[in-house]
Amino acid sequence: MTVYGFSTENWKRDKTEIALLLDLCVYFAQTELDELNRNDVRVEIIGHYEALPRASREALSRLVEKTANNRGLRLNLAVNYSAREELRDAIAALARDVVDGSLEPDAIDEACVASYLYTSSLPDPDLLIRPGGESRLSNFLLFQVAHTELYMSDVFWPEFGRADFIRALAAYQDRRVAAAGGL
Domain edges within the chain: 1-81
The yes-or-no verdict on residue 182 having pLDDT over 90 is no
Pairwise CA distance, residues 126 & 131, whole Å: 16
Q: Which tens digit of pLDDT belongs to each residue from 136-164?
A: 899 999 999 999 999 999 999 878 999 99
Q: Summarize the confidence of residues 120-139 as an average pLDDT.
A: 92
pLDDT at 55: 94
Closest Cα partner for 59 from 25, 83, 87? Answer: 25
Pairwise CA distance, residues 167 & 81, whole Å: 28
Stated pTM of the model: 0.87
Q: Answer for the pair 55, 26: CB distance below 8 angstroms, yes or no.
A: yes
Q: Summarize the confidence of residues 83-92 as an average pLDDT.
A: 97
Pairwise CA distance, residues 30 & 62, whole Å: 9
pLDDT at 164: 95
Which residues touch 83 (CB under 8 Å, ≥6 apart)?
A: 137, 139, 140, 141, 142, 143
pLDDT at 140: 95
Q: Which tens digit of pLDDT belongs to each residue from 31-81?
A: 999 999 999 999 999 999 999 999 999 999 999 999 999 999 999 999 999
Pairwise CA distance, residues 63 & 36, whole Å: 9
- pLDDT over 70 percentage in the chain: 99
pLDDT at 183: 60
pLDDT at 154: 94
Q: How many residues does the chain have?
A: 183
Q: Answer for the pair 5, 77: CB distance below 8 angstroms, yes or no.
A: yes
Q: Summarize the confidence of residues 162-181 as an average pLDDT.
A: 90
Closest Cα partner for 47 from 94, 92, 6, 90? Answer: 6
The yes-or-no verdict on residue 125 having pLDDT over 90 is yes
Q: Cα dist. 123→12, 55, 57, 111, 114 in Å?
A: 31, 31, 26, 11, 10
